[in-house]
Amino acid sequence: MSALQTDQQRLLLAELEGVPEEYFPFLLQMIRSYRESILLQPAAESFRNGWEEVRNGQTMPIERLWEGIDAE
């Protein structure tokens, strides 16, 4: 993170200053869970798309997946 804070960072830190320190562990857990959930959304979307393809019969035999790959 750069030494210069953005307006959003300043607002976030100002909000944090208003939270009693006894709640920091819970708040930290919430922030980490939120960050992890937004990072995993593309994987969940990819799974949904893949599952929909399977349900619609848009599959290929496993042998075809290796065509053109030089594996020794």
The answer to whether residue 20 sits within a structural domain is yes
E strand segments, 1-72: none
The answer to whether residue 4 sits within a structural domain is no
Model pTM?
Answer: 0.47
The answer to whether residue 51 sits within a structural domain is yes
The answer to whether residue 1 sits within a structural domain is no
The answer to whether residue 41 sits within a structural domain is yes
Domain count, the chain: 1
Residue 35 main-chain phi, psi, to 5 deg? -60, -45
The answer to whether residue 38 sits within a structural domain is yes
The answer to whether residue 19 sits within a structural domain is yes
Q: Which of 1-5, 6-10, 62-66 has the lowest mean pLDDT?
A: 1-5
Residue 15 vs residues 3, 6, 8, 56, 65: alpha-carbon distances, Å: 20, 14, 11, 48, 52
pLDDT interval class at 68 (50, 70, 90): confident
Residues 27-48 have a mean pLDDT of 84
Among 22-31, 40-49, 55-64, the range with the most confident prediction by mean pLDDT is 22-31
The range of the structural domain enclosing residue 22 comes to 13-56
The answer to whether residue 42 sits within a structural domain is yes
